């Protein structure tokens, strides 16, 4: 089954990066893409810090990433770097854990200067995990992402997120067509043979 997995690296459920992620998830679902969510803060802290991949929490989360065709990562930026919570999770992924997946990184921070954290801190780690297709990503300052439920995202941020979702959805739909092509082609061959038999 084709699906995207979203990963929240925020220690808080009401964070701005989590808000971005919810927006992206709703847009993906609207585009016909199945979504599975990993809230790192909800995983067993002991298992995460010990990198105990035999623990049910981590085993299930790693399986979700392994089976996904696209991975969306959202994190707050602290001290010019992505969250320690996200780092702990990325550290337990296999060395090629993001190979052959489309990856989209999102981040929020208090200053536009933190934008560089996406390119110089997060993207290199995603590449080191085998990601060859990393979208440009979206960074938003705190003022652009109100935490209150029902509040509207900044228009420019919403447009950039929408453009990223369009790329993700298009790529995933194409992957699904390619995945199903052998079965579709075989069905067409059988149909053609049956038609030829009836005609004879």
Average pLDDT over the chain, rounded to whole?
Answer: 88
Q: With H, G, I as helix, E, B as strand and everything else as coil, classify residue 79.
A: coil
Residue 120 CB neighbour total at 10 angstroms? 11
Q: Please, are residues 86 and 77 in contact by the beta-carbon 8 Å criterion?
A: no
List, for residues 95-126, the tens digit of each pLDDT value.
999 999 999 999 999 888 777 888 889 999 99
Question: Which is higher by pLDDT, 116 or 47?
Answer: 47
**Least-confidence region, from 4-8, 109-113, 155-159:** 109-113
Buried-state track 167-181, b at ≥16 Cβ within 10 A, e below 16: bbbebbeebeeeeee
Write down the pTM of the prediction: 0.85
Closest CA to 71 of 94, 43, 99: 99
b vs e for 71-104, b when ≥16 Cβ sit within 10 Å of the residue's Cβ? Answer: bbbbbbbeeeebbebbbbbbebbeeebbeebbbb
- In the block, tokens 């296999």 appear at 94
Give the residue, 191 or 29, on which the prediction is more confident: 29
Q: How far is CA 182 from CA 24, 68, 70, in A?
A: 31, 21, 22
**pLDDT-based confidence at residue 14 (cuts at 50, 70, 90):** confident
């Amino acid at each position: 089954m084709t699906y995207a997995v979203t990963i929240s690296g925020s220690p808080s459920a009401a964070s701005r990066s989590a808000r971005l992620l919810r927006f992206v998830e709703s847009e993906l679902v609207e585009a016909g893409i199945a979504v599975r969510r990993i809230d790192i803060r909800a995983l067993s802290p002991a298992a995460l810090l010990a990198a105990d991949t035999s623990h049910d929490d981590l085993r299930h989360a790693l399986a979700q990433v392994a089976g996904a065709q696209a991975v969306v990562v959202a994190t707050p930026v602290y001290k010019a770097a992505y969250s320690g919570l996200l780092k702990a999770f990325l550290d337990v992924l296999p060395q090629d854990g993001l190979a052959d997946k489309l990856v989209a990184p999102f981040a929020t921070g208090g200053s536009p200067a933190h934008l560089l954290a996406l390119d110089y801190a997060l993207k290199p780690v995603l590449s080191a995990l085998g990601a060859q297709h990393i979208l440009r990503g979206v960074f938003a300052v705190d003022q652009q992402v109100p935490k209150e439920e029902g509040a509207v995202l900044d228009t420019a941020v919403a447009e950039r997120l929408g453009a990223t979702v369009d790329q993700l959805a298009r790529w995933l739909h194409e992957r699904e067509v390619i995945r199903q092509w052998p079965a579709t082609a075989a069905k067409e061959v059988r149909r053609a043979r049956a038609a030829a038999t009836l005609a004879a």
